[in-house]
Each structure stands twice: as structure tokens, then as C-alpha cells.
């Protein structure tokens, strides 16, 4: 099975439970320290899964001699824990699944500004205006479809068209998933509260297929038991890798919404350093490593995400990041997710 939900933070614990219901329990792990690394150690709160990033963190330890103690959980849980712990947190670095989570922590004044030699490596689109966090990888929202169920000519030009009765019962969505929540926040930012509520109400009235994450949606679309679904682009590459195939050999195909449609939102996973680590050279070395050629290539080749640093080849089988027609949404504005979670719940998409 393809592992999925990747969940984003809400700022209130009661509202946060909506996201965490799809995420399971928290687990902790760390790389095994070697004698050479015993005196050099950082603590990372990771909203990225252990399966995804541990191989990369091991490479970092081997190359640098710096031990990485990692606490793994959903990005929502990690952000909530940082907000609760405040300046008492043992974390040096927060490696988050989503720009909204990073923004939420930054708004509480917990991050230190990153050095200019870090922020300058990442395009302005994919970093905080304040310099307190930077994107590490980018991912695009897409509509995955089964060509035997819907031809390319029948696909919607806008995500708003999915509320049309022709799509009744045919659309898979994961409303407790991080990326869907960020997409709804982008709707609010780009089109206003009323338009976002109208879309969610129309989607709910159209009897969508509710799933816990992007992975199950993709698998069902590929199997032909679901027509279309809203997911992130990289899941196609991950499923193909699991099956020993190239993405073009899967039945499921990706539809990138054109014309700056909100359905084509490009978000980031990223990193910020806690204030206590502002002068920590080892924490800085970790951030540098994530933005280096080895880590950027790892994400492109192993997780099929887009590198955000120039000079690294992007994932195969999808348009280049520069070719995507992303909406005019500032990722810095995705940090107010509490209202988004409430809106999704009130729409009826989540009980």
C-alpha cells in the first residue's frame, strides 16, 4: 500500500484533532550515534515521515559526524507541540510538511531568522518574507484521473468545475489531509471566504468519495474504482516506484489545472531553526545539507518532489517546476489554518 496522509497544522488543539484523526499516533526515533558524532548532536522535530527522510538523515550524519535525534509525527502534531512548548522546546530544527505549519510557528515568534546565505539559495516564492523558514522541496496539486473513466477532453479546466453534477460521486478527496487543507486556505486567500464556502458546499453536495489521504485515492483511480481525485503530483511516482514501474506505465494519469487555477497550488515542505539554535553551527549545517545537491537530488529521485535549488534536475515524468501554471497565492498567507479547518468541518466533508 502507498503510504499517505500528510497532515497540516491547526493552531487550536480541539480543531487540530480533526487533522490528527487521519494521522495515527506519534512515534519517536533517532539515528544511532557513533562515537565520532557523540559530542555533536541536534534535535529535529520532523513532520516528514521516518520512512521518507531517515535515509537522508543517516547520510547527513555519515558526512558531517553530527548525530540527529528525531521526533517523528504528523506536521500538525509537531507544530502543536512546538506551540505548546514554546521556548522550552528541545527542538533545534522543525522540518515541516507544509508552508502553513512553518508560518504558524513563525507567527508565534519561535524561529530565528535564517542567514542570508541560506535564504538566498531559495527563490522568494518558496521562502518566508521574514527569512524565518525556507522551502526544501515543492509539490503541485493535481487531478489524477483514469482515462477509461474520463477522457482528457472531459477533464475540468478549473477545480471549481468539480461541483458540476456531471462529477457527482466520482471525485476523491482527503479533507483531513494537509495538502487539501492548504488548498482550501489558498481558495480563501485567492477568492475570499464566501467563494471557498460555496465550493466546499458544492463539493459536499456532489457526494465526493472521502478518503484518509492521497495514496488511497490514487490507488483507487489507478484500479478504475474511482474516476478522478485531488492529490499531490508526487504520489504517482511513489506508487510507480513501489510497483517497480515508471509513472507512465500506471493507468492513472495527472491533470495539471491550467491558467493559474487554485487547483494547481504549488506548496512546499520546508525548514526553520528555533531561536535557541540561532548560533548552533550544527543546526545550520543540517539546513545547508537539505538545500545541498545531494539532498535535493534525493528528493527529486526518491520522493519525486521538485527541488527548489537551482541546478538540480527535477523529477521525471512531470512538467518542470518553471512550467507549472500555479495560482497567484503567497505561501506566507497559508499560516491561518484554524479557520480553514473549521470551514471544512462545517461543510460536512468531515463529520
Helix (H) or strand (E) holding 301: none
Residue 179 pLDDT: 84
> How many domains are contained in the chain?
2
Do 21 and 99 sit in the same domain of this protein?
yes
Is there a contact between 232 and 269 (Cβ–Cβ < 8 Å)? no
Give pLDDT tens digits for 13-24: 344 433 433 333
Give pLDDT tens digits for 259-311: 999 999 999 999 999 999 999 999 999 999 999 999 999 999 999 999 999 99
Q: What does the alpha-carbon distance between residue 231 and residue 76 come to, in Å, rounded to a whole number?
A: 19
Give pLDDT tens digits for 126-179: 999 999 999 999 999 999 999 999 999 999 999 999 999 999 999 999 998 878
How many helices and strands (H and E) does the chain possess?
12, 11
Binding site: residue ranges? 234-235
Do 148 and 184 sit in the same domain of this protein?
yes
Q: Domain range holding 109?
A: 13-138+267-320
Do 34 and 114 sit in the same domain of this protein?
yes
Do 258 and 146 sit in the same domain of this protein?
yes
Q: Residue 287: how many CB atoms within 10 A of its CB?
A: 24
Do 292 and 342 sit in the same domain of this protein?
no
Tell me which residue of 229, 156, 157, 163 sits closest to 195, measured CA to CA.
163
* 71 Cβ neighbours under 8 A, 6+ residues apart: 26, 28, 43, 44, 45, 46, 78, 91
**pLDDT, mean of residues 317-330:** 96
* 329 Cβ neighbours under 8 A, 6+ residues apart: 186, 189, 190, 262, 265
Region of 204 (left: φ > 0; alpha: ψ -120 to 50; beta: rest) is alpha
Residue 74 pLDDT: 84
Burial of 136 (0-12, 13-18, 19+ CB in 10 A): buried
Under the banding of pLDDT at 50, 70 and 90, the label for residue 12 is very low
Do 217 and 99 sit in the same domain of this protein?
no
Strand runs labelled E in 122-189: 134-145, 171-173
In a domain, 197, yes or no: yes
Binding site for Fe cation: residue ranges? 234-235
Residue 39 pLDDT: 63
Do 165 and 285 sit in the same domain of this protein?
no
Residue 200 pLDDT: 98
Do 162 and 248 sit in the same domain of this protein?
yes
Is there a contact between 65 and 37 (Cβ–Cβ < 8 Å)? yes
Q: What does the alpha-carbon distance between residue 314 and residue 177 come to, in Å, rounded to a whole number?
A: 25
Do 49 and 180 sit in the same domain of this protein?
no
Query: Looking at 49-53, 238-242, 330-334, which range is the least confident one?
Result: 49-53
Q: C-alpha 310: how far from its chain's center?
A: 20
CATH number, domain at 276?
Answer: 3.40.190.10
Do 341 and 214 sit in the same domain of this protein?
yes
234-269 CB burial, b ≥16 within 10 A, e <16: bbbbbbbbeeeeebeebebbbbbbeeebbbbbbbbb
In a domain, 55, yes or no: yes
| DSSP, residue by residue, 97-125 | S-HHHHHHHHHTT-BPPPPHHHHTTS-GG
In a domain, 330, yes or no: no
Q: Which residues pair with 168 in a beta bridge?
A: none
Give pLDDT tens digits for 14-54: 444 334 333 333 344 444 444 443 469 999 999 998 988 99
**pLDDT, mean of residues 219-235:** 97
In a domain, 184, yes or no: yes
Do 152 and 234 sit in the same domain of this protein?
yes
Over the chain, what is the mean pLDDT? 90
Give the three-class secondary structure for 306: strand
Q: What is the CA radius of gyration of the chain?
A: 19
Amino acid at each position: 500500500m502507498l503510504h499517505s496522509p500528510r497532515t497540516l497544522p491547526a493552531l487550536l488543539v480541539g480543531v487540530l484533532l480533526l487533522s490528527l484523526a487521519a494521522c495515527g499516533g506519534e512515534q519517536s526515533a533517532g539515528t544511532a550515534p557513533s562515537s565520532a558524532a557523540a559530542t555533536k548532536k541536534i534535535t529535529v522535530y520532523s513532520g516528514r515521515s521516518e520512512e521518507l527522510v531517515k535515509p537522508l538523515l543517516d547520510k547527513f550524519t555519515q558526512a558531517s559526524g553530527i548525530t540527529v535525534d528525531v521526533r517523528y509525527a504528523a506536521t500538525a502534531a509537531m507544530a502543536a507541540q512546538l506551540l505548546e512548548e514554546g521556548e522550552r522546546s528541545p527542538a533545534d530544527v522543525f522540518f515541516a510538511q507544509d508552508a502553513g505549519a512553518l508560518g504558524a510557528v513563525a507567527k508565534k515568534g519561535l524561529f530565528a531568522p535564517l542567514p542570508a546565505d541560506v535564504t538566498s539559495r531559495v527563490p522568494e516564492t518558496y521562502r518566508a518574507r521574514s527569512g524565518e523558514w525556507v522551502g526544501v522541496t515543492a509539490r503541485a496539486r493535481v487531478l489524477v484521473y483514469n482515462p477509461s473513466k474520463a477522457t482528457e477532453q472531459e477533464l475540468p479546466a478549473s477545480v471549481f468545475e468539480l461541483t458540476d453534477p456531471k462529477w457527482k460521486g466520482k471525485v476523491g478527496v482527503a479533507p483531513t489531509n494537509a495538502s487539501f487543507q492548504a488548498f482550501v486556505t489558498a481558495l480563501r486567500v485567492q477568492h475570499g471566504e464566501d467563494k471557498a464556502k460555496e465550493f466546499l458546499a458544492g463539493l459536499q453536495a456532489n457526494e465526493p468519495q472521502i478518503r484518509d489521504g492521497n495514496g488511497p485515492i490514487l490507488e483507487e483511480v489507478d484500479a478504475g474504482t474511482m474516476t478522478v481525485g485531488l492529490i499531490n503530483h508526487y504520489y504517482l511516482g511513489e506508487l510507480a516506484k513501489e510497483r517497480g514501474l515508471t509513472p507512465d506505465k500506471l493507468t492513472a494519469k495527472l491533470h495539471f489545472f491550467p491558467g493559474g487555477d487554485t487547483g494547481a497550488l504549488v506548496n512546499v515542505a520546508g525548514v526553520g531553526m528555533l531561536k535557541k539554535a540561532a548560533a548552533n553551527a550544527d543546526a545550520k549545517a543540517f539546513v545547508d545539507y537539505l538545500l545541498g545537491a545531494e539532498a535535493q537530488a534525493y528528493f527529486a529521485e526518491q520522493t519525486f518532489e521538485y527541488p527548489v535549488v537551482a541546478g538540480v534536475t527535477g523529477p521525471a515524468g512531470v512538467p518542470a517546476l518553471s512550467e507549472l501554471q500555479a495560482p497567484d497565492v503567497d505561501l506566507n498567507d497559508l499560516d491561518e489554518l484554524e479557520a480553514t479547518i473549521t470551514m471544512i468541518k462545517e461543510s460536512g466533508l468531515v463529520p
